Amino acid sequence: MDKHLFRKFAPVIRSLSAKELDGAASLYDKLTIAEDQGIRVCYAPFEYINESARVVIAGITPGHTQMLNALKEVRRQLDRNTPEDKALKAAKDTGAFSGSMRPNLTSLLDSIGIQRWLGIRSCDELFGNSAHLVQTTSVLRYPVFVGDKKNYAGTPNMIRHPLLRDQLTAHFAAEAAALPDAVFVPLGDKVAEALFFLAEKGSIKRERILDGLPHPSGANAERIAYFLGRKERSALSSKTSPDKIDGAKEKLLRRVRALS
Q: Examine the pLDDT at 95 and tell me if it is beyond 90.
A: no
* pLDDT score recorded for residue 98: 64
**Pick from 68-72, 95-99, 205-209, 245-249: least confident:** 95-99
* pLDDT score recorded for residue 149: 84
141 backbone φψ class: left, alpha, beta (φ>0; ψ -120 to 50): alpha
Specify whether the CB–CB gap between 159 and 181 falls below 8 A. Answer: no
Q: Which amino acid is at 181?
A: D
* pLDDT score recorded for residue 2: 83
* pLDDT score recorded for residue 83: 96
Q: Examine the pLDDT at 100 and tell me if it is beyond 90.
A: no
Percent of the chain with pLDDT over 90: 90
Measured between alpha carbons, how far apart are the two ends of the chain, in Å? Answer: 29
* pLDDT score recorded for residue 17: 97
pLDDT tens-place string over residues 7-29: 999 999 999 999 999 999 999 99
With 0-12 / 13-18 / 19 or more C-beta atoms within 10 angstroms meaning exposed / middle / buried, residue 26 is: exposed
Percent of the chain with pLDDT over 70: 98
Closest to 138 (Cα-Cα) out of 99, 102, 95:
95
